[in-house]
Amino acid sequence: MKIDRDAWIVLADGRKALIAQNVGTPLEPKLAVRNVVEAEPNPATHEQGTDRPGRSYDSSGSRRASFSQTDWHEQAEQEFAKRVAGELDNLSRTNAMRRLVLVAAPRSLAQLRLSLSPAVKDRTVSEIDKDLTNHPVAEVEKILAAL
């Protein structure tokens, strides 16, 4: 895969995002990390929700139904995706970012897509559904060059 020089690359999952810029060549990317965005600590679900899910009664009879329990981790990942999208929107407003490559875990990529502004979507040239956030930058460069 060719990544243009000066293109921006986002490596993200549900808790961490690296925003980098390619300072190398299209065939041999060299990533310079410009920003790291990390999510706030997210305690275990049993520590966040103390009440049992609510129940409702059918208005036409005596049947009962229960509501599903809130998934606090999913909610935190959605908020994190919005935060990363906000950072990218700020970059697009300064015209520092002309081309963007999104590299994220499939679920995080879907959440990012929903949160991106039209200006950032217009600058997105490629999306890769891989979780590379915990790889060293040098290894990410090799993986991207091999795609």
Residue 49 near residue 72 (C-beta atoms within 8 A): yes
pTM: 0.76
Residue whose C-alpha is closest to residue 99's, from 10, 12, 33: 10
What kind of architecture, by CATH, is found in domain 8-40+72-146?
A: 2-Layer Sandwich (3.30)
The residue whose two tokens read 């999104």 is 102
Sequential pLDDT tens for the chain (147 residues): 889 999 999 999 888 999 999 999 998 999 999 999 888 775 565 555 555 555 555 555 555 555 555 556 677 788 888 999 999 998 888 878 889 999 998 989 999 999 999 999 999 999 999 999 889 999 999 999 998
